[in-house]
Amino acid sequence: MLYTVGEMAKLLGIAASTLRYYDQEGLLPFVERSSGGVRVFTEQDYAPLAVICCLKKSGLSVREIRAFVTLAQQGDDSLRQRLELFRRRKAAVERQIADLQETLRVLEEKCRYYEAACRAGSEDAVRGSFPGKQQTGGE
């Protein structure tokens, strides 16, 4: 089955303009074009596109993704380099998740604090009852 830019973008959950941008930046050398020059995506294009989207979401720049695409085109000769790239990204995402979990913990604590203050009608009623720096207006 063949897909238009818009159809493939929808499947990937990204904007069609993003997919066009990735193509302009050389991230999609595997994508075919019709005789009229229109991008034509196949079902086989979905998996590498999903990897590109994953790498972007993980924080890689377009330049770094282009380097990955180049490695992928080299085939088995670049297996170890690609493995190392994914290991580094995985570690970076794990650090981001840990940071976000700490952020979430603080936000949850602040929600509990302010919910209790709202129920009591004043911060004075709850100040000191919650861990953390409650002496400065819950901040």
Only one residue has tokens 């981001």, namely 96
pLDDT more than 70, % of the chain: 94
Last residue of a domain, one of 33, 58, 73: 73
Last residue of a domain, one of 73, 98, 122: 73
Beta partners for 33? Answer: 39
> In this structure, are residues 40 and 5 in contact, taking their beta carbons and an 8 Å threshold?
no
| Residues 117 and 130 occupy one common structural domain | yes
| Residues 64 and 36 occupy one common structural domain | yes
Domain range for 50 is 1-73
Instruction: Indicate the helix (H) or strand (E) that contains 41.
Output: strand 39-42
Whole-model pTM? 0.79
| 88, two tokens | 């580094």
Last residue of a domain, one of 53, 73, 93: 73
| Residues 69 and 1 occupy one common structural domain | yes
Query: 32-81, pLDDT tens digit by residue?
Result: 888 888 889 999 999 999 999 999 999 999 999 999 999 999 999 999 99
